[in-house]
């Protein structure tokens, strides 16, 4: 199986399965001299881990980060950084009955058709648990970006059709982590929470939209023509299993706008060119403008639902019905926020290294 590595100069390779002994990531290309400890990584993993509220999967994993290599005396050495997270609360019993009946909406069938053999326990490699490695690597990328005064903020803007009101950066910083749905609009957050509880009681699930804003990215990041910053962000965010769409800036709304509405007027701000508005989402021609980079991702409903669904029994090649049991999130967007932030951070570090904005050698 190929395709487990992401990045050019700042590269990550995630490994492990949902119900295996452990999951993790190897980071190659991290500069030497960056202060890094397990606490830096743990902070981000705690935002992603299961069992953090009553609207997430009840699987109880502490997701404790273990740095195995690449860090000495509290600083990165420039060597590959290996981070491991052990799987502690594994229960594969509910999947025994599903080993020959692929779950609708999951990668079970495509893995079976492509490889002819798969780890059916909890989805194996295709499980969302794989994203713990991304978040661990993203924590390292965020440390690098913080040194350049770059901040990445993710929040849920829509869940199950409930739309949050427009909020400012201060609201996102202040409110997002204060509620289990990670919505910066407190009133909408309450409605989203009630909706998720209702969907769970009916054996169903809900999808939504997550916005990721990058602040402080300098102008000039991005490599035309095929290596556009927008293209790399789309690739990174679309590589998350539950993401079915992405937009940058005005996104799909731009299709119904006129040029006079879409174009961002160029003005002087503190003696430098800037944009009066930000319909471009901080990227023009695949290159950052210096304005906030705004991405939104469409996240599908959790495919594991307890309602009866149609499938096929591959051992008999007969049509079958299944009801999925086990421990699952009734809605993915709240827990995907730190994953999306991680992927944006990984893209930005890699592209800034490629553009010479971040040194690839020791930082001192």
Query: What confidence score (pLDDT) does residue 96 get?
Result: 81
Report pTM. 0.95
Give residue 214's pLDDT: 98
Within 8 A by CB and 6+ apart from 139, the residues are 40, 41, 43, 44, 45, 342
Say whether pLDDT at 110 is over 60: yes
* 2-11, 109-118, 258-267: least confident range: 109-118
Q: CA-CA distance, 164 to 157, in Å (whole number)? A: 5
Considering only 15-29, 292-306, 320-334, which range has the smallest mean pLDDT? 320-334
Phi, psi of 131, rounded to the nearest 5 degrees: -70, -10
Could you report the per-residue pLDDT of 39-69, keeping only the tens digit for each? 999 999 999 987 777 777 776 778 999 999 9
Residue 362 lies in a domain: no
Three-class secondary structure of residue 66 per DSSP: strand
User: Is the residue at 97 inside a domain?
Assistant: yes
Q: Is residue 364 part of a domain?
A: no
Domain assignment of residue 83, yes or no: yes
Is the pLDDT confidence value at 103 over 70? yes
Strand ranges (E), the chain: 5-6, 11-16, 22-28, 65-69, 71-72, 75-76, 81-86, 151-159, 162-163, 208-215, 243-248, 266-269, 272-275, 283-284, 287-288, 293-299, 309-313, 318-322
Residues 17-56: b if buried by 16+ CB within 10 A, e if exposed: bbbbeebbbbbbbbbbebebebebbbebbebbbbebeebb
The structural domain count of the chain equals 1
Give dist(CA 156, CA 190) in Å, integer.
Answer: 13
| pLDDT tens digits for range 131-161 | 999 999 999 999 999 999 999 999 999 999 9
Q: Round to whole Å and give the CA distance between 94 and 322.
A: 12
Tens digit of each residue's pLDDT (9 = 90 or more) over 210-222 = 999 999 999 999 9
Kindly state the tokens that stand for 327. Answer: 């421990």
User: Mean pLDDT in the chain?
Assistant: 94
CATH number (domain holding residue 348):
3.60.150.10
302 lies in some domain? yes
What digits encode the pLDDT tens for the residues 66-98? 999 999 999 999 999 999 999 987 777 777 878
Domain coverage including residue 217: 5-354
DSSP one-letter code for 332:
S
Please give the DSSP secondary-structure letter assigned to residue 218: P
Q: Percent of the chain having pLDDT more than 90? A: 84
Is 360 contained in some domain? Answer: no
In a domain? residue 237:
yes
For residues 137 and 345, what is the distance between their CA atoms, to the nearest angstrom?
9
Looking at the chain, the whole-number percentage of residues with pLDDT higher than 70 is 98
Mean pLDDT of the 159-178 span: 97
Distance from the first to the final alpha carbon of the chain? 38
Is 64 part of a structural domain of the chain?
yes
pLDDT at 364 over 60: no
């Amino acid at each position: 199986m190929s395709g487990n590595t992401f990045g050019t100069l700042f590269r990550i390779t995630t490994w492990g399965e949902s119900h295996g002994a452990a999951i993790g990531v190897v980071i190659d290309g991290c500069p030497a001299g960056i202060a890094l400890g397990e606490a830096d990584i743990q902070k981000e993993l705690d935002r992603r881990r299961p069992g953090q509220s009553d609207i997430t999967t009840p699987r109880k994993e502490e997701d404790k980060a273990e740095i195995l290599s690449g860090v000495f005396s509290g600083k990165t050495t420039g060597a590959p950084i290996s981070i491991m997270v052990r799987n502690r609360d594994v229960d594969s019993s509910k999947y025994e009955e599903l080993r020959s009946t692929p779950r609708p909406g999951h990668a079970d069938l495509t893995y079976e058709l492509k490889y002819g053999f798969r780890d059916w326990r909890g989805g194996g490699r295709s499980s969302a648990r794989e994203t713990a490695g991304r978040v661990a690597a993203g924590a390292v990328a965020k440390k690098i970006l913080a040194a350049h005064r770059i901040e990445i903020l993710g929040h849920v803007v829509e869940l199950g059709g409930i739309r949050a009101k427009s909020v400012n950066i201060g609201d996102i910083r202040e409110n997002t982590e204060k509620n289990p749905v990670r919505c910066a609009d407190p009133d909408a957050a309450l409605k989203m929470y009630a909706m998720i509880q209702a969907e769970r009681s009916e054996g169903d699930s809900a999808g939504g939209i997550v916005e990721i804003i990058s602040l402080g990215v300098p102008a000039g990041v991005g490599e035309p023509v095929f290596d556009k910053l927008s293209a790399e962000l789309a690739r990174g965010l679309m590589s998350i299993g539950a993401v079915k769409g992405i937009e940058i800036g005005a996104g799909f709304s731009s299709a119904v706008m006129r040029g006079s509405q879409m174009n961002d007027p160029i003005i002087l701000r503190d003696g430098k060119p800037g944009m009066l508005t930000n319909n471009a989402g901080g990227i023009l021609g695949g290159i950052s403008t210096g304005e906030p980079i705004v991405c939104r991702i469409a996240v599908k409903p959790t495919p594991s639902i307890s309602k009866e669904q149609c499938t096929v029994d591959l051992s008999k090649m007969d049509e079958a019905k299944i009801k999925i049991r086990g421990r699952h999130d009734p809605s993915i967007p709240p827990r995907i926020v730190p994953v999306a932030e991680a992927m944006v951070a990984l893209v930005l570090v890699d592209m800034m290294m490629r553009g010479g904005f971040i040194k690839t050698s020791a930082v001192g």
